[in-house]
Chains A and B, each alone.
Chain A
Amino acid sequence: MITLSINGMNVSVEEGTTVLEAARFMGITVPTLCHKDGLSPYGACRLCVVEIGEGPKAKLVSSCTYPVEKGLKVRTASSRVIKARKMILELLLASCPQSKTIQDLAAAHGIRQQRFKQEHEDCILCGLCVRMCEEQMMAKAIGFRGRGENRSIGTPFDIQSEVCRLCGACMYICPACQLRCTYTEPERAICGGCENLVPPCIEKEQFDDMMCYMRPCIACEIRKD
């Protein structure tokens, strides 16, 4: 058992546990995007960064890939961490605003605008689909191609795959293409509405053209009549 300190509290976990698992074990929320229980950690989105160490040598590391160490001092929400997470979320919104997952994460961190040139990409290259296909569905039909700007996910040389069973696991797990926000004006799509607004079931009229993804409760059903 290895003892480390997270946000000032001591916790003892088994060797091989990641800092993210240890933090969640203690009930501390750490946002993630490219991490999924059951898939190997990848460390690409960098949202789960936490600050370790003290003084001038303190640095940020992705908690989903960092194994616990004896005596490690972890801070999951220091000012450096929060600033970094906010900038990453701004960058995410600037690339892929129509993803509800990203919108919700941004709203939860108080971000309502992004200062970069707006793009509308379909993929954030988090690699969940690749790992899902390889590790859970055992097909390994898709992978990463290219480097930097030209990096993409697909089948080798874009040839139709012989091992793809059309199971749809890649679509299921994707944070960008699941639950798309379909607000009619793309430029104003970063509204934070899903997280922050009063549920549309109460004041549905002003949100007539918005698709609501909240879990339907009895109020929605009654209103229909």
Chain B
Amino acid sequence: MSMERLKSIDDFKELQERMIADRDLNIPTIIIPAGTCGQASGANGLIRVAKRELLARELTEKVQLRITGCHGFCEMEPSLLIEPRGIFYPRVGPNDMVRIVEAVARGEVLEDLLFVEPETGVPVEKKGDIPFFKRQVRTILARNEKVDPIRIYNYIENGGYSASSEVLVHRSPEWVVQEIKASELRGRGGAGFPTGLKWELLAKQSNGQAKTLVCNGDEGDPGAYMDRSILEGNPHSIIEGMLIGAYGTGATAGVIYVRNEYPLAIKHLIIALRQARDLGLLGENILGTGFSFEITLVRGAGAFVCGEETALIQSIEGKMGEPRQRPPFPVEKGIDGKPTAINNVETWANIPVIIERGALEFSKVGTENNSGTKIFSLVGKIKNTGLVEVPMGITIREIIDGIGGGPVGKARIKAVQTGGPSGGCIPANMFDLPIDYESLTRAGSIMGSGGMIVMDENTCMVDIAKYFMNFLKDESCGKCFPCRKGTQRMYEILNGISRGEGTLAHLDLLEELAQAVKDTAMCGLGQTAPNPVLTTLRYFRHEYLEHIKNNRCPAGVCKELITYTINENCTGCMLCLQACPEGAISGKKKERHVIDQSRCVKCGGCKSVCTFEAVDVK
């Protein structure tokens, strides 16, 4: 499809007005979220069926189809949204898809396929009435529902590129920086540095060197995928944000750094960049204003440490991703020694929102010193897993119970882990804590990029600390000695404790080592690596002591310390016998089975198939 290049803001406005006038908001539209999570659950199959049925029934004029990125209710994927009524169909199968196409054409709702509220058992028709969605403030995620990521015209007709065009033609660079400062937006990558201040520092650099803006899409925390959903679902919002930032700071080049493990995001970004260039909204002499800005895409190569800004700069320069000490800071000396400002994907996505709504309106959401919304990936032992966007200052309890729907089984929720491998675990008795940068830091954790892992009574906190330390030891770049050796040794000690070989002296050594690594490591990875250990020791010390003193794992996780036995509930159905990969279970039909401890590898297969709760783990 060839696009005619827009030569002025009048061209752009005319195109936008034409698109808005041409669209019919009353046409029934089937929206299929096909982000990576949707596709993994079968959304591609639904798309095929939908297209086939619409063609076969000659409905292509009467019913529209829109493929979008992730909407956030990942537990219910593959799901459908029907506009304009706002009907939500969860976990749709291919056969249901056929019925739904018919129903949409007739303007009907299929009651039996609707989402059912677990507490009440009542089906809910509209997405807006489902507590999971209702209790969020979906400033950014809602846009994923409206926009087909690979159609720039779709983005424009939803108001896209209005903010950047307005700014280029009618506002000064100083105004842009002041507006972002007034919004009190803080970096969403984890550290929470005021974005306006960072831009002001970059704008002030005046030694004649070319300035660069970077979008940090190296989302590396296990369990965090908020940035992925923005890059896949609304790549143009990032381009628009960077245009505004470039104009405000005087940057002439931009880099979007995406981790290589996000192929769909990379594909959509390549398409979006090409479309923006073709239309004249990116590149030389944008909209005839004389302002030029170009963006290149750089792919990561599989290193978590490259999310750290100085290591990111090394990676972009083509070298091994190794951090260096600051000062000098990237705004003074960044890529190839030139002034560089690096911001997170979600930070960039908020920029067009601030320009559209105005800084004052934007700062009304959230709390003192923490304005706006934050997207969290709510995962783990919770009913409603997915991406949730909430105002800063909301309490953990409101997210876990109000939006997350509470625990997934009978086990009580014990803790929530925020901030990924750099963060910490917050125990259930602190769930009334508001989510903001300062409160989380005081509790020993960090906001981080937004991962929120929910843990229940069947999670062993020693195992969690061990898991994160294993991750960090593998991902440490290895340059500075305390981080490289410190993470290895901390893992060694934690492994020993989980195997029942730990002593109290080990615990003291662990704490001492953790403090030394925190103080001396060169970059954020090493400096925050001890956090999972330190917070679990602070709030769950009793679990460590159980492992050490009594050689017991209370959650029933650490393999060397647990025993699987069959109790009197056993009816002799032989299911576990068949499920055991080691042939460790013996017994006849209708007789209580027995596990041979010498062959048992503690895989948990028997427990997962037993419907009589006859398998005990102690």
Contacts and interface: CB of A to CB of B under 8 A. Distances in A.
A148 interface: yes
B481 A44 contact: yes
Contacts of B476: 147-148
A87 B481 contact: no
B416 to A, nearest CB: 26
B391 interface: no
Contact of B481 (A59, A125, A144): A125
B192 to A, nearest CB: 15
B484 A87 contact: no
A97 B488 CA distance: 17
A42 B505 CA distance: 34
B475 A147 contact: yes
Given A80-B519, A83-B515, A115-B505, A144 B485 contact: no
Contacts of A144: 320, 478
Contacts, number: 97
Interface in B509-560: 509, 512-513, 515-516, 519-522
A49 B486 contact: no
Interface in A62-119: 62, 65-67, 69, 80, 83-84, 87-88, 91-92, 94-95, 115-117
A124 B481 CA distance: 8
B520 A66 contact: no
For the residues of B in contact with A, the DSSP-based class is helix
Interface in A105-159: 115-117, 124-127, 144, 146-151
B516 A84 contact: yes
Interface in B310-366: 320, 324-325, 327-328
B480 interface: yes
Interface in B425-484: 473-482, 484
B276 interface: no
B488 A87 contact: no
Given A146-B478, A147-B476, A95 B522 contact: no
26 contacts: A43-B522, A44-B479, A44-B522, A46-B480, A46-B521, A60-B520, A65-B325, A67-B327, A83-B512, A83-B515, A84-B519, A87-B512, A88-B482, A91-B481, A91-B513, A94-B489, A116-B492, A117-B492, A146-B478, A147-B320, A147-B476, A147-B478, A148-B473, A149-B473, A149-B474, A149-B488
- Nearest first, the 3 A-B pairs at minimum CB distance are A87-B516, A151-B478, A46-B520
Interface of B: 303, 305, 320, 324-325, 327-328, 473-482, 484-489, 492, 505, 509, 512-513, 515-516, 519-522
Given A67-B327, A147-B478, 12 more contacts: A43-B325, A43-B522, A44-B481, A46-B481, A62-B522, A69-B327, A84-B516, A87-B516, A116-B489, A116-B492, A147-B477, A149-B473
